[in-house]
Amino acid sequence: MNKKIGIFYGPARGSNTEKVAQKVAREIGADQADMIEVKEATTEDLKKYDRLIFGVSTIGKETWDGYASRGDWDKFRPELDKADLKGKTIALFCLGDHVTYPRHFVDALGMIYEILQDKNVRIIGHVEPSGYEFEESQGIYDGKFVGLPIDEDFEPELTDQRVKNWVAQIRKEFDQ
């Protein structure tokens, strides 16, 4: 099994999600992580890694409810649904906009978490909500975000430190 961490992210092609995925990869160490665009990924790609990071963005409630055009994660979701992820360790990060979507801040974090809950995986990288401004989020379970929330639209100055702190946290959790 590949000892590297597979960073599966989308959307790509200059998106904020891709930019944050690159920051995460740099913080981990480029030689220790592979970046994979989800729109190109298959279940075979997921099998190559015991340690995964999923990066996604949230547009709002419509993200996976069929109202918006099908994005990268919508296209990858059937692959994720059928993937055997038993025994894998997964960390999540999600981009959201707490000003425009304060009632749906990083909802996609929770949507992916719900898919993964039935797959016998260990999800790491939970983050305290203190320091974040929002009204509601599907990304919170048991009082914590189930991954790293990032708001590049209104808090880009916080991204580098949040990524650095989170990668330090998940490094320890990956090895537990």
The residue segments making up the domain with residue 94 are 2-174
Structure pTM? 0.92
51's CB contacts (< 8 A; 6+ apart) are 4, 5, 6, 88, 89, 90, 174
pLDDT string in tens for the chain (176-residue length): 568 999 999 988 878 999 999 999 999 998 999 999 999 899 999 999 999 999 999 764 444 444 444 678 888 988 899 999 999 999 999 999 999 888 989 999 999 999 999 899 999 999 999 999 999 999 999 999 999 999 999 999 999 999 999 999 999 999 88
Total structural domains within the chain: 1
For residue 35, give the CATH number of its domain. Answer: 3.40.50.360
